[in-house]
């Protein structure tokens, strides 16, 4: 692994940092308070190649590598976690899945619109009764004589669901086959049979719109199947590996923002006649925060580098992705908690962003696979036992 970033990687990082600091950071509090979807900012990110960082230029993307994606995501998440959630879904879950398993026509029709930021994409796997156990899904797609599928069922906690134009949906086409009976479909939300539920009132990442979606006799044509019938679970798990790198990057950026705020406050805040940063208990917190932040960042970059190697030479990066996601998300919770504690009463006030960082951090331990799931993935891959 080369720790020296390329000129191209530094360029996309600089673009992301500029937009994050000039446009996203100043508006983050507003979007958190109102819960509005930051459409103008997302459009701007798309115009600058940040909604399709790893998407080849022929499909409207920036044509960059996984490390570039991590560097850009960290910058965006440092400015606002909710914005980075939208970026992560578009890049990791939507575009990545179609690039790997979609047809040429699907890439041209769906990936380009999302990568350029003209439309918003989403990923629908979770259901009200099936989160970590994806094979327990009840959403069904019944094949018809003409090759089309009639879809009925619900999906929940769909990030960008209230605003998405296109959604990658996973539905059961043959319940008798379990995981091998799941198929992926491209959904156009403008078609009949698609319905959106209420936007979820979330604890954090409030500007990242989330809702339940429902299908009532929705008809998917044969050319809207992603991959082949029965390949859906494989597609979902592969896409989630990439998604976990995105969430790890998000956690690193969020943790970095909280860490910087804590260090600055420890220098400025006086107590008993001296800066609180001179007190040993504060110094211990800062040292622990720094160690966890650096470990999370390096493990996330390792996962991205490994992903790039697998794209060239084959193989898997699921362990590296899970290690990064687990470490970074738990580091984000630890660091935001410690930063809030260092700020004392001011950290608890909405006048400062610490309480938002704290609320936003929790979701990184839950979506794209909970911390418990990450530990299970890592242990199973290491032992070979199921």
Q: Judge if 158 and 191 occupy the same domain.
A: yes
Beta carbons of 5 and 13 less than 8 angstroms apart:
yes
Q: Judge if 376 and 269 occupy the same domain.
A: yes
Q: Judge if 329 and 259 occupy the same domain.
A: yes
Q: Judge if 251 and 379 occupy the same domain.
A: yes
CATH code of 153's domain: 2.40.110.10
Residue 220 bridge partners (DSSP)? 149
Q: Judge if 361 and 251 occupy the same domain.
A: yes
Beta carbons of 368 and 243 less than 8 angstroms apart:
yes
Q: What is the pLDDT of residue 1?
A: 64
Residue 190 located in a structural domain:
yes
Q: What is the pLDDT of residue 133?
A: 83
Catalytic option among 29, 54, 368, 372: 368
Rounded CA separation 319/327 (Å)? 12
Last residue of a domain, one of 119, 151, 179: 119
Residue 194 bridge partners (DSSP)? 215
Rounded CA separation 71/42 (Å)? 17
Could you report the per-residue pLDDT of 207-254, keeping only the tens digit for each? 999 999 999 999 999 999 999 999 999 999 999 999 999 999 999 999
Please list the rounded mean pLDDT of every run of 10 residues in the chain (386 residues): 88 98 98 96 96 96 97 98 97 94 95 94 94 87 98 97 97 95 98 96 96 98 97 94 97 98 97 96 98 98 96 94 98 98 95 96 97 97 95
Tell me the torsion sign for CA atoms 369, 165, 311, 60: negative
Q: Judge if 111 and 133 occupy the same domain.
A: no
Q: Judge if 346 and 291 occupy the same domain.
A: yes
Q: Judge if 109 and 146 occupy the same domain.
A: no
283 contacts: CB under 8 Å, gap ≥ 6: 277
Domain that holds residue 274: 233-383
Could you report the per-residue pLDDT of 263-291, keeping only the tens digit for each? 999 999 999 999 999 999 999 999 999 99
Residue 270 bridge partners (DSSP)? 275
Residue 102 located in a structural domain:
yes
Residue 2 located in a structural domain:
no
80 contacts: CB under 8 Å, gap ≥ 6: 20, 24, 25, 27, 28, 31, 32, 207
Virtual torsion, Cα 77, 83, 84, 90, nearest 10 deg: -170
Is there a catalytic annotation at residue 224?
A: no
Last residue of a domain, one of 173, 199, 232: 232
Rounded CA separation 29/16 (Å)? 19
How many secondary structure helices (H) and strands (E) does the chain include?
13, 10
């Amino acid at each position: 692994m080369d720790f020296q970033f390329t000129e191209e990687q530094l360029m996309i990082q600089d673009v992301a940092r500029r937009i994050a600091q000039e446009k996203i950071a100043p508006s983050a509090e507003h979007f958190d308070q109102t819960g509005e979807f930051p459409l103008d900012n997302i459009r701007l990110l798309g115009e600058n190649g940040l909604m399709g960082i790893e998407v080849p230029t022929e499909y409207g993307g920036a044509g960059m590598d996984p490390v570039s994606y991590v560097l850009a995501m960290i910058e965006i998440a440092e400015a606002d976690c909710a914005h980075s959630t939208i970026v992560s879904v578009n890049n990791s879950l939507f575009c990545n899945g179609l690039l790997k398993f979609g047809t040429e026509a699907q890439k041209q029709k769906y990936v380009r619109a999302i990568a350029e930021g003209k439309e918003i994409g989403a990923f629908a796997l979770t259901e009200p009764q099936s989160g970590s156990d994806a094979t327990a899904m009840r959403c069904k797609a019944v094949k018809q004589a003409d090759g089309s599928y009639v879809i009925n069922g619900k999906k929940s906690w769909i990030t960008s669901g209230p605003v998405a134009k296109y959604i990658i949906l996973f539905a059961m086409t043959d319940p008798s086959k379990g995981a091998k009976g799941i198929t992926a479909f491209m959904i156009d939300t403008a078609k009949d049979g698609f319905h959106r539920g209420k936007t979820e009132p979330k604890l954090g990442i409030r500007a990242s719109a989330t809702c339940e979606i429902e299908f009532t006799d929705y008809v998917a044509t044969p050319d809207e199947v992603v991959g082949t019938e029965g390949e859906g679970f494989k597609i979902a798990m592969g896409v989630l590996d990439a998604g976990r790198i995105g969430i790890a990057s998000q956690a690193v950026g969020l943790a970095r923002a909280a860490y910087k705020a804590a260090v600055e406050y420890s220098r400025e805040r006086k107590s008993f006649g001296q800066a609180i940063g001179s007190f040993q208990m504060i110094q211990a917190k800062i040292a622990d925060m720094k160690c966890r932040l650096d470990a999370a960042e390096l493990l996330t970059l390792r996962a991205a580098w490994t992903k790039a190697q697998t794209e060239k030479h084959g193989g898997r990066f699921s362990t590296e992705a899970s290690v990064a996601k687990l470490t970074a998300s738990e580091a984000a919770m630890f660091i935001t908690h410690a930063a809030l504690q260092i700020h004392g009463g001011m950290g608890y006030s909405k006048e400062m962003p610490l309480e938002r960082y704290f609320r936003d951090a929790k979701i990184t331990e839950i979506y794209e696979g909970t911390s418990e799931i990450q530990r299970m993935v890592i242990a199973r891959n290491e032992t070979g036992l199921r």
